[in-house]
Amino acid sequence: MKLIYTNENRIMVLNVKNVLIGHGFEVALNNEFASGAAGSLAPFWPEVWLLKDDNLEEALKIVESFDTDISSITWQCDQCFEDNDQTFDYCWNCNAENSQ
């Protein structure tokens, strides 16, 4: 087994898991509910594990392209360099207009 993806955002982790399953990979989810404890800072992020190491490279490529997809739907603020959702016309952090 190889750890192939982890993120503090459980939705992202679940998306990666679903994409990999969609490509025919056998994966396991770890710590899925670790961040669910009310109000506490969880020490663990949810993790996607690849069950078979022999298709690790292919799986990593898919995960990488998935990360690229995510970054392409955000824009970075010129003023404070925060990432913003594509649907925002103004930076959520400093209220600067999206110039991209």
Interface residues with Zn ion (CB under 5 A) are 77, 79-80, 82, 91, 93-94, 96
Q: Of 27 and 77, which CB lies nearer to Zn ion in the complex structure?
A: 77
Q: Of 29 and 96, which CB lies nearer to Zn ion in the complex structure?
A: 96
Q: Of 62 and 77, which CB lies nearer to Zn ion in the complex structure?
A: 77
Q: Angle formed by the axes of helices 56-72 and 10-22, to 10°?
A: 130
60 contacts: CB under 8 Å, gap ≥ 6: 4
For residue 82, the minimal CB distance to Zn ion (Å) is 5
Amino acid at 18: N
For residue 12, the minimal CB distance to Zn ion (Å) is 22
Q: Is 10 exposed, middle or buried (0-12, 13-18, 19+ CB in 10 A)?
A: middle
Residue 51: name the closest of 69, 27, 29, 72 by CA: 27
For residue 76, the minimal CB distance to Zn ion (Å) is 9
Q: Of 11 and 73, which CB lies nearer to Zn ion in the complex structure?
A: 73
For residue 69, the minimal CB distance to Zn ion (Å) is 23
